[in-house]
């Protein structure tokens, strides 16, 4: 692994991010026995891109040299946010490492980057919902603990960690 670079998404990267989201959604769909309709996936992806310049959000593509590794997306919950939230907490919304790059240290390096973002913004308490197949083992290895609470938004168990 070389030194990783993290970039925001430009118009030139839009198609790449859409492709990553398709792979990510397909994996989640397989694990949860569902099928995300293409129009919903497109709206979801565009919404993520369109909100990336909000100072309370961190959306980055991750590269090792010129090779794409995955992406991360987190935000600091605000009182006006909709859905399940913990105001002032960091929420790891989406986190994806391409399957061929897993178990090589990329995920932990990407997480360190995201945790630094939260720390630099004065946020110490983080939470996420974990995919039960690939997410749960990773997040537990990274020090996140299950709360026995489930998100009303996606039905997945909530994990948390204090930095």
Summarize pLDDT for 52-71 with one digit per residue, the tens: 888 999 999 999 999 999 99
Q: Which residues have CB under 8 Å from 155's CB, separation 6+?
A: none
Q: What is the dihedral of CA 145, 114, 132, 2, to 10 degrees?
A: -120
Q: In terms of residue numbers, what domain contains 37?
A: 4-162
pLDDT band at residue 81 using 50, 70 and 90 as cut-offs: confident
The pLDDT tens digits for 39-54 are: 988 999 999 999 888 8
Mean pLDDT score of the chain: 93
* Structural tokens at position 13: 């990267």
Contact 5, 63 (CB under 8 A): yes
Higher per-residue confidence, 30 vs 106: 106
**Lowest-confidence region among 31-35, 137-141, 146-150:** 31-35
Query: Cβ(103)–Cβ(137) under 8 Å?
Result: no
CATH of the domain at 103: 3.40.630.30
Distance CA 125, CA 142 (A): 14
Q: Judging by beta carbons within 10 Å of its beta carbon (0-12, 13-18, 19+), is residue 16 exposed, middle or buried?
A: middle
| 131 vs 118 pLDDT, higher one | 118
* Residue-wise pLDDT tens digits, 13-29: 999 999 999 999 999 87
Give the number of domains in the chain.
1
Q: Residue 83, SS3?
A: coil
């Amino acid at each position: 692994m070389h030194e990783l670079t993290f970039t925001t998404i430009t118009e030139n990267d839009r198609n790449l991010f859409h492709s990553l989201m398709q792979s990510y959604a397909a994996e989640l769909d397989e694990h949860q026995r569902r099928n995300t309709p293409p129009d919903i996936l497109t709206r979801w992806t565009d919404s993520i891109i369109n909100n990336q310049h909000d100072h309370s959000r961190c959306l980055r593509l991750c590269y090792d040299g010129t090779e794409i590794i995955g992406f991360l997306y987190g935000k600091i919950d605000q009182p006006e946010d909709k859905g399940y939230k913990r105001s002032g907490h960091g929420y790891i919304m989406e986190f994806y490492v391409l399957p061929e790059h897993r178990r090589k240290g990329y995920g932990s390096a990407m997480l360190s980057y995201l945790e630094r973002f939260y720390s630099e913004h004065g946020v110490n308490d983080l939470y996420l919902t974990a995919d039960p197949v690939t997410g749960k083992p990773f997040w537990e290895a990274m020090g996140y603990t299950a709360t026995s609470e489930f998100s009303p938004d996606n039905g997945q168990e909530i994990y948390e960690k204090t930095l």
